[in-house]
Structure 1
Amino acid sequence: MIPRYTRPEMASIWEPQTRFKIWFEIEAHAADAQAELGVIPKEAAKTVWAKARNVTFDVARIDEIERETKHDVIAFLTHLAEIVGPEARFVHQGMTSSDVLDTCLNVQLTRAADILIADLDKVLAALKKRAFEHKMTPTIGRSHGIHAEPVTFGLKLAYAYAEFSRARARLVAARKEVATCAISGAVGTFAQIDPRVEEHVAKAMGLEPEPISTQVIPRDRHAMYFATLGVIASSVERLSIEIRHLQRTEVLEAEEFFSEGQKGSSAMPHKRNPVLSENLTGLSRMVRAYVTPAMENVALWHERDISHSSAERMMGPDATVTLDFALMRLAGLIEKLLIYPANMQKNLDRLGGLVHSQRLLIALTQKGASREDAYKYVQRNAMPVWRGEGDFQTLLKKDPDVKKHLSDAEIEEQFDLGYHFKHVDTIFKRVFGES
């Protein structure tokens, strides 16, 4: 993670001091449970809390010890012993390093998920507000980048709202899946530690006991978590690309807010570029880049190898910090998005009514023409208009085959723009629960 794309609240989850604080809490809660079970003296457990609960751990000292031990958890435990004194010998009994590391990682991932869920709520609120503002604002729907049929700009935003609603539900599920704790020893058999210790630590840390672990918590849980972040990033990119296309000079139906004093180009003073949307596209790629290593971390050797560790040390902070920044940037972009209904109408009219071709096709078949003939009649009148030669409605009224089935008034009726929006209320009701 780099400062440019980092928000302090999310970054604090991954700071060394936070990590060591969580490690201490895991060890101290385990000591409490061991004391209740009579494995270690109760006074020893109390001393651990009393001497280290409010300590600011010396990160530089831990790093110094690790340079000698080549083991981060041992380095931490050595530093903890320097703080606690003789009673530190009762810490970490029957535990393995992964009991601390994996439980800590899952605490961090659940905390990160809580921030991301709040971020998604902000995106959803912005999308809903703007969707209702432009619920009936006509614009052209495009397939393959080509004008298709009319939609409303509110529907475009409602589509995004529904997508991010699904994203939120997936993230809630992914948070639950990764919120497990393992205090099960070297190979997960609880040979040196009572399972009740795990249950106590899990409850204290806001997690659930892992039903069955090896030396580590199963990495399919983490794969699902990071895959969910990747899907959310793809949703961010999809909406960002939509905005980028709509801001193109030839389209200009929507535009990122351009603040006073902002500059778009070092060479061309007139430029107003979709830099936020482009930035979000790039950030989305970075979040998705961590999905593959998360998947590959699932296949560890036997009861555990350490191949996952180096990847997770990077992907945990980077993926969550980057997505947090991206979601908050997206929420602000939507809140301030400039929307140009007049340009939307101008683009709607650009093809001279060709966007109503399907209505004419259906009307002809309902009046007796075969589908093949109806398609031929409509298309042969549409193609000259596509080339800029003539008016679609006028050409249809002059076509003898069309006139066999439709009167002038019936032809005109097919060009009613409002016809396309008769079910917008129904769609909004489905998406938002209100219309």
Structure 2
Amino acid sequence: MIERYARPEMAALWTEEAKYASWAEVEVLASTAQAELGVVPEADLDVIRAAPVPTVARIRELELTRDHEILAFLAAYTEAMPQDSARWVHHGMTSYDLVDTALGHTLARSCDLLLTAAGELLRVLVERAEEHWDTPCIARTHGIHAEPTSFGQKLAGHAFAVHRSVGRLTAAREAVAVGTISGPVGTYAHISPYVEEFVCARLGLGVEPVPTQVVARDRHAQLLAALAALGSVVEHFALEMRLLQRTEVAEVEEARTSAYQGSSAMPHKRNPTSSERLCGLARILRANAGAAYENVALWHERDLAHSSVERVILPDSLIAAHYQVTAAAELARGLRVSADRMRSNIDATRGLVYSSAVYLDLVESGADREAAYRLVQRAATEAWQSGRPLADTLRAHDVPVTEGQLAPERFLGNRSHLKSRLETIRKELHPHVDL
């Protein structure tokens, strides 16, 4: 992922330096477990523990003569050790015992960062929903004015979507936070299962219950699917904010800095660029999820077809998702809401959006349902075509109307049960989410 869309704390987990440091940690833990079993002498364990993490440059240099990244890492890691100590490094292990166990640790930490960021987005959405719970605005179906709702209810819907995404991501974290140190083809023929238990416990990982030679890739597909769903949820929120920022709508606006310039040619432009960026990143997450599903079916006990794909999609997806969620929280937090413009847009159709209330009042007063619908529809059509208020065309059809019938507050009077549902988010917290 390019630096432009990377937050430092997430990007730091996915550098080459961080990867090799994690590999070294796994090797030290495995040697420690082997020493407890009496396989590795304590003196040699001390040497292994004291060895520095090799530089990326040195590993790349040695890779030129080996065409194998793990062997190049091991050569760089052990080259300063005495041979008696170096021979115990990676003892009984195969390449992906190292790679996948370290990867599980990195994925778990990445998910923790993302869950914290998603929790902040959830918190902001709940706060803004409560702030604007009684701010009337027009709801739109098919892009057309429907009935009044409130801006708080709009935001509450997005808050619950994030809440569900946090649940999916929490489950995905558990799925990928696993390792395996079981040797070639996963039989433990050359290494005790105790080593796996020791290493994974120290790293906070579970173990692959029936290993082959790699961690099963349906786990990673579950994570990428959860990221894609989260990205789509953020996109839904961002798309709504984009639509509400259109010039003819102008109900909300992204926060602007004093340095903001919207166009190189048109000085007046105030474009919804933050929202648009969030929508674009969701496309990357969905595309990468498809690639993760392609990685699930490997040949026999393992093949390497997944490796090149994961070098791209895992860091890119986690970095992009983290940026997207963090930026969405910033968008929601700084969003400028125009209650006056929302009320003006409700009134823009001169009462047409209250037609359902009038229709139902007629039915409740004894009118035939179909006849009442057609009567109000004729009055609404005349109001639309003539530009007259709906109240006037209704009265022309001998339909009495009162001011209370044609007011947005009538549509907002029975929503306490919805607000109580919003409050349940605070009572059903996921790990890493502090509201």
TM-score (norm 1): 0.94
Residue pair 2:163, 2:425 contacting (<8 A) in 1 also: no
For residues 87-137 of structure 1, the C-alpha deviation after alignment (integer angstroms, 9 at most, x for no partner) is 121111211101111111111111111111111122122212222221101
The one-letter code sitting in structure 1 at the alignment partner of 2:412 is: F
Provide the secondary structure at the position in 1 that maps to 2:169: helix
Q: Which has the higher mean CA deviation after the structures are superposed, 94-103 or 83-92?
A: 83-92
In structure 2, how many angstroms separate the alpha carbons of the residues matched to 1:83 and 1:382?
86
In structure 2, how many angstroms separate the alpha carbons of the residues matched to 1:166 and 1:422?
27
Runs of 4+ off more than 3 Å: none
Provide the secondary structure at the position in 2 that maps to 1:83: coil
Equivalent in 337, 341, 344 of residue 343 of structure 1: 341
Q: Which has the higher mean CA deviation after the structures are superposed, 178-187 or 382-391?
A: 382-391
Provide the secondary structure at the position in 2 that maps to 1:211: coil
In structure 2, how many angstroms separate the alpha carbons of the residues matched to 1:21 and 1:149?
58
In structure 1, how many angstroms separate the alpha carbons of the residues matched to 2:187 and 2:43?
28
Partner of 2:6: 6
Residue pair 2:20, 2:53 contacting (<8 A) in 1 also: no
User: For residues 55-134 of structure 1, what are the structure 2 equivalents within 5 Å?
Assistant: 55-86=52-83, 87-134=85-132
Structure 1 residue 224, shift from structure 2 partner: 0.4
User: For residues 107-186 of structure 1, what are the structure 2 equivalents within 5 Å?
Assistant: 107-186=105-184
| Cα root mean square deviation, aligned | 1.6
In structure 2, how many angstroms separate the alpha carbons of the residues matched to 1:328 and 1:83?
43
Residue pair 1:181, 1:202 contacting (<8 A) in 2 also: yes
Equivalent in 418, 422, 425 of residue 431 of structure 1: 422
Provide the secondary structure at the position in 2 that maps to 1:193: coil
Residue pair 1:361, 1:375 contacting (<8 A) in 2 also: yes
Structure 1 residue 434, shift from structure 2 partner: 8.7
The one-letter code sitting in structure 2 at the alignment partner of 1:74 is: L
In structure 2, how many angstroms separate the alpha carbons of the residues matched to 1:302 and 1:219?
13
The one-letter code sitting in structure 2 at the alignment partner of 1:248 is: R
User: For residues 31-430 of structure 1, what are the structure 2 equivalents within 5 Å?
Assistant: 31-49=31-49, 51-52=50-51, 55-86=52-83, 87-400=85-398, 403=399, 408=400, 412-430=403-421
Provide the secondary structure at the position in 1 that maps to 2:271: coil
Partner of 2:27: 27
Residue pair 1:428, 1:434 contacting (<8 A) in 2 also: no
In structure 1, how many angstroms separate the alpha carbons of the residues matched to 2:350 and 2:163?
37
The one-letter code sitting in structure 1 at the alignment partner of 2:59 is: I
TM-score (norm 2): 0.94
Percent identical pairs in the alignment equals 43
In structure 1, how many angstroms separate the alpha carbons of the residues matched to 2:53 and 2:94?
24
Residue pair 2:24, 2:53 contacting (<8 A) in 1 also: no
For residues 301-321 of structure 1, the C-alpha deviation after alignment (integer angstroms, 9 at most, x for no partner) is 111111000000111111111
Structure 1 residue 26, shift from structure 2 partner: 0.9
In structure 2, how many angstroms separate the alpha carbons of the residues matched to 1:336 and 1:234?
21
For residues 147-200 of structure 1, the C-alpha deviation after alignment (integer angstroms, 9 at most, x for no partner) is 011111111111111111111121111111111111111111111111111111
Structure 1 residue 398, shift from structure 2 partner: 2.8
Structure 1 residue 56, shift from structure 2 partner: 4.2
The one-letter code sitting in structure 1 at the alignment partner of 2:74 is: L
Structure 1 residue 388, shift from structure 2 partner: 3.8
Q: Which has the higher mean CA deviation after the structures are superposed, 339-348 or 358-367?
A: 358-367
Residue pair 1:256, 1:274 contacting (<8 A) in 2 also: yes
Provide the secondary structure at the position in 1 that maps to 2:348: helix
Structure 1 unpaired stretches of 5+: none
Number of equivalenced pairs: 425
For residues 70-94 of structure 1, the C-alpha deviation after alignment (integer angstroms, 9 at most, x for no partner) is 1111111111111332212111121
Structure 2 unpaired stretches of 5+: 427-435
Q: Which has the higher mean CA deviation after the structures are superposed, 411-420 or 265-274?
A: 411-420
In structure 2, how many angstroms separate the alpha carbons of the residues matched to 1:391 and 1:11?
57
Provide the secondary structure at the position in 2 that maps to 1:150: strand
The 1:416/1:346 distance shift into structure 2, 3 A limit, reads closer
Partner of 2:429: none
The 1:434/1:188 distance shift into structure 2, 3 A limit, reads closer
The 1:44/1:242 distance shift into structure 2, 3 A limit, reads same
The one-letter code sitting in structure 2 at the alignment partner of 1:198 is: E
